[in-house]
Chain A
Amino acid sequence: MSTASARTPKLGVQAATKVYQTSSGDLLALDRCSLDVQPNEIVSIVGPSGCGKTTLLWSMSGLHRLTGGAILLDGKEVTGPRPEIGIVFQEANLLPWRNLDANINFPFEIKGEKPDRAWIAHLLHRVGLDGFGGKFPRELSGGMQQRAAIVRALALKPSVLLMDEPFGALDSFTREEMNRLVEEIWLDTKTTIVFITHSIEEAIFLSDRVVVLTTRPGRVAKIYDVPFPRPRSLEIMGTKEVFDLTNRIKMDIVGERRPKAQEQPEHKSAEIVRIRP
């Protein structure tokens, strides 16, 4: 474990291992995954599908118990869901029988608290959903549903926001719009964000660091720094630096899938690569 960092990481993943018991035997989804997320950082996790990205995120949130290793939030072990951790799920995950207002009030209902009206109104305005409170999820586009889900996740003012492929089902224009929105919200709140995605472009645009996982069992293969200044414009996505970085990550992921003749299954420690623009 590195002791170089003076600060305690916001979220520490220490040798996280997860085994699922399935009908066809045990399935090793995560194998000694280690990762530190610093305060106010945006970290993306990319990797081939089925590499345990979602498992890692659900474990970080305390929804799943790890088989081995630990998740630390501000240095304290996470053993169950915590109010400081907000989650944005795949495909918005709104409750279809509730209108938007009732969906956003849902966390407060569960906690038995009075909803923070002013904060919710501010968030709804921030994501451009003023006046949609009475609408039901089915009446909204995918992008609007996901905006509402972001408002719901931020309603309890979490210090960490975990986003699980939130924009995977959206078209690319809406997705870019949502990426800008996430950055704006981050500039506003400086919430630490862990972002799972299978889009490398999205990961690079949003993140301070991009973590590449290996195919199942998921392990941290590489971590890339993305040192572009914020706010980022879409123009940086056309620069050579981004192009090169995208290709390197792509090679990491695609290379994973290629059968390697000689390679023995060995456990390499995470390799850190820095790219300077």
Chain B
Amino acid sequence: MNGGDAIPEFSKAKSGDGQDVSLTNLSAFASGPGIKSGAEVAAILAVAVVIIGGIELALRLFHVPQYIMPPPSSIAYALFDEFPLIAPHLGYTLVELVSGFAIGAIVGLVMAAVITQFPFAEKIVAPYILILVTTPMLALVPLLILRFGFGYTPRIIAVALAAGPMVMINAATGFRRVDSAKIALARSYGASTLQIFWKIRAPMALPMILVGLMIGAIFGLLTAVGAEMVGGGFGLGNRLTSYSSMIQMPQFFAVVLILSTLGILIYVLFFLIGKKWASWET
């Protein structure tokens, strides 16, 4: 009759419970017992001051020219002084990042959810997904510019193409983490396939989905900045090329500082979401 059932397994290392993919890889900030006292905060700040001050001092003592490495103080001054000029470009980059990421993430999530329901379809599309994941989407930007011009469109497409596959493979890994006992539990109450998806598979996949979204967002940022460097007259990437061509290194590093802050914010955002919605894993 029907031999398609899987042998019920209750292995000790439950692959389904996701000890293998915890959000601890996101928890660099929360590593250790956490910051408790004011003394610890003071110590951390003191070390930072010593390092930055040391760099400042060394650069000035050895007369390192500005075009090689500007001292931290002039970077800070440039950031403060030029920020009104840089701010609109930050806005453009954010627009590209957010809209491209949203498109890529939605398409990636839907594709992951659909494909994992059909193992055979998954086998067919797997190689193409692999190509999408491993190809740097920046390579397509010149082509996209030829087709769509120097506006937002080619950049948003590039960001979506970079973020989507990352979201997809991670979400698919999440959706594939089948815990047969939990699905059996739902089925024992007569759950439909849709109910099993929303009440078992989706919450189980959530931690992996969040990891995918975070990686996707970081890749999206990289691609947005890269695409701006290739062509077009606006965006933080464009500022980088323009400041470096004018050898305005303090301004250049101010933009770099903004970019790393953006990256850290993405990281922290998903870390906090994970802490709120996927903390059951740890």
> Does A63 lie within 8 Å of B188, measured CB to CB?
yes
In the bound complex, how far is the Cα of B184 from the Cα of A91, in angstroms?
14
Known A-B contacts A106-B199, A109-B199; the reply to A83 vs B190 at CB < 8 A is yes
Residue pair B189, A83 in contact (C-beta under 8 Å): yes
Contact indicator B189/A110 (Cβ below 8 Å): yes
Is B1 within 8 A of A95, CB to CB? no
Cα A66 to Cα B281 with chains together (Å): 35
Check A89–B181 contact: CB distance below 8 A: yes
Contact present for B189 and A55 (CB under 8 Å): no
Report chain A residues within 8 Å CB of B186: 106, 110
A95 to B5: give the CA distance in the assembly, Å: 22
Check B280 against A55 for contact (C-beta < 8 Å). Answer: no
Residue B269 lies at the interface, judged by CB distance under 8 Å to chain A: no
Interface-side segment among A16-24, A32-40, A183-191, A222-230: A16-24
A109-B192 Cα distance, complex, nearest whole Å: 12
Interface size on A, residues (CB 8 A): 39
With A19-B3, A20-B3, A55-B8: A93-B199 Cβ-Cβ less than 8 Å: no
Distance from A144 Cβ to chain B, minimum over Cβ atoms (Å) = 16
In the bound assembly, the distance between CA atoms of A27 and B189 in angstroms comes to: 28
Tell me, yes or no, whether A97 is within 8 Å of chain B by CB: yes
Q: Are A21 and B4 in contact (CB under 8 A)?
A: yes
* A233 CA / B115 CA spacing, docked (Å): 55
Shortest CB distance A126–B (Å): 21
Is there an interface contact between B190 and A111, defined as CB atoms closer than 8 Å? yes
In the assembled complex, B118 has its CB within 8 A of some CB on chain A = no
The B233-256 residues at the A interface (CB cut-off 8 A) are none
Say yes or no: is A96 at the interface (Cβ < 8 Å to chain B): yes
Complex interface bits, B5-24 against A, C-beta within 8 A gives 1, otherwise 0: 11110100000010000000
Provide the residues of chain A in CB contact with B191, threshold 8 Å.
110
- Point out the residues of chain B lying under 8 angstroms from A107, CB to CB: 189
Q: Is A58 an interface residue (CB 8 A)?
A: yes
Given that A20-B5, A96-B17 are contacting pairs, would A91 and B10 also be in contact in the complex, using a CB cutoff of 8 Å? yes
- Which chain B residue shows the least CB distance to A50? B7
Q: A97-B203, A106-B199 are in contact. Are A136 and B280 (CB under 8 A)?
A: yes
Residues of chain B from 197 to 220 with CB closer than 8 A to chain A in the complex: 199-200, 203-204, 206
Report the bound CA distance from A109 to B2 in whole Å. 29
A97 surroundings in chain B (CB, below 8 A): 203-204, 206, 278, 280
Cα distance, A55 to B184, chains bound together (Å): 13
By a CB distance below 8 angstroms, the chain B residues around A156 are 189
* Minimal beta-carbon separation of A118 from chain B (angstroms): 20
CB nearest to A137 among chain B residues: B280
Q: A81 and B3: CB pair below 8 A?
A: no
**B182 proximal to A (CB < 8 A):** yes
Q: How far is the CA of A55 from the CA of B6 in the complex (A)?
A: 10
A85 close to B7 (CB less than 8 A)? no
Interface residues on B, range: 20 to 34
Q: Give the residues from 227 to 254 in chain A that come closer than 8 angstroms, CB to CB, to chain B.
A: none
CB-based contact B189/A81 at 8 Å = yes
- A87 touching B188, Cβ below 8 Å: yes
Alpha-carbon distance between A93 and B185 when the two chains are bound, in angstroms: 8
CB contacts under 8 Å to B, within A76-100, are 80-81, 83, 85, 87, 89-91, 93, 95-97
Interface-central residue, A68, A80, A96, by most chain B CB under 10 Å: A96
The B1-50 residues at the A interface (CB cut-off 8 A) are 1-8, 10, 17
Q: Nearest B residue to A22 by beta-carbon distance?
A: B7
Whether a CB of chain A sits under 8 angstroms from the CB of B195 is yes
Q: Which of B7, B181, B278 contacts A90 (CB 8 A)?
A: B181
Instruction: Find residues 36-59 in chain A having any chain B CB closer than 8 Å to their own CB.
Output: 54-55, 58
A104, chain B: closest CB distance, angstroms: 12
Task: Given A65-B2, A83-B189, A87-B188, check contact A110 B199 (CB 8 Å).
Answer: yes
Given contacts A22-B7, A96-B17, 18 further A-B contacts (CB under 8 A): A19-B3, A27-B7, A58-B5, A63-B188, A68-B1, A81-B188, A83-B190, A87-B184, A89-B185, A93-B182, A95-B203, A97-B204, A106-B185, A106-B189, A106-B199, A109-B199, A110-B189, A138-B280
A residues neighboring B (CB under 8 Å): 19-22, 26-27, 29, 54-55, 58, 61-68, 80-81, 83, 85, 87, 89-91, 93, 95-97, 106-107, 109-111, 136-138, 156
Q: Name 17 A/B residue pairs within 8 A (Cβ), A-sorted.
A: A20-B7, A27-B7, A55-B7, A63-B187, A64-B8, A65-B2, A68-B1, A90-B10, A95-B200, A95-B203, A96-B17, A96-B280, A97-B278, A106-B189, A109-B199, A110-B189, A138-B280
The 8 closest A-B pairs by CB, nearest first: A65-B2, A110-B189, A21-B3, A96-B280, A97-B280, A64-B5, A90-B10, A110-B191
